[in-house]
Structure 1
Amino acid sequence: MASNPYSHDFNTAIKLAEASLNRNHTTKMFFMGNGLFSILRDEIKNLNEKGLKVYYCAHNAEQRKVKPESWAESSSMYGLAKLITEADKVIMLS
């Protein structure tokens, strides 16, 4: 997710992740750009506690001085490319 945490995309992402987790799908979210600020919201932490796997671009986090919680996994654009190739379905919200 690259949108800021107060965009319509954030609410859409939350609803999609909840629906996916409720259907027992392996669900992963990758945060980059201004979307990194979303990782600080309680909604993401709550979804992580329900099984959402959370990744973020470490370079973008450093640029924005965002320090994600330990439950979020530091990654890179290469990591994102790998997640995409391993996924059955990919939804990009920008």
Structure 2
Amino acid sequence: MNLLIVLASNPYSHDFNTAVKMARASVKRNHKTKIFFMGNGIYSILRPEVKELVDNGVKVYYCAHNAEQRKVKPEGWAESSSMYGLSKLITEADKVIMLD
């Protein structure tokens, strides 16, 4: 299965913990797992748990416009994208979970 998690809520919300737990469970089941950070969720990309997910095989994307607005500079392991990129990820996914 191809799972996409979209996170738009702030990094210290319950949604962040939920996204991390779902991504870990998905990877354990050998699913292709992607997370897209946008809105205030862009701040979450700075948390160490996200790098841990990347190390375990999760692909991480972020909205470049939202990052620029919030003066966030994501690490090189996260792929810069856009709302157009998000729309492509959604069409490729079997399941999409939006946490806002």
TM tier, shorter chain?
Answer: over 0.9
Partner of 2:71: 65
* Structure 1 stretches of at least 4 aligned residues deviating more than 3 Å after TM superposition: none
| TM-score, normalised via structure 1 length | 0.99
RMSD: 0.4
1:26-41 pair list within 5 angstroms: 26-41=32-47
1:5 aligns with 2:5: no
Q: Which has the higher strand share?
A: 2
Partner of 1:84: 90
Distance in 1 (alpha carbons) for counterparts of 2:45 and 2:92: 22
1:42 aligns with 2:68: no
Query: What are the superposed Cα offsets for residues 19-69 of structure 1, whole Å, 9 maximum, x if unpaired?
Result: 000101000000001000000000000000000000000000000000000
Distance in 1 (alpha carbons) for counterparts of 2:26 and 2:56: 11
Identity of aligned residues (%): 79
What secondary structure, in the 3-state scheme, does the structure 2 residue paired with 1:90 have?
A: strand
Aligned pairs, number = 94
5+ long unaligned stretches in structure 1:
none
Q: Which has the higher helix share?
A: 1
| TM-score, normalised via structure 2 length | 0.93
Partner of 1:93: 99
Which structure is richer in relative contact order (CA contacts within 8 A, separation 6 or more)? 2
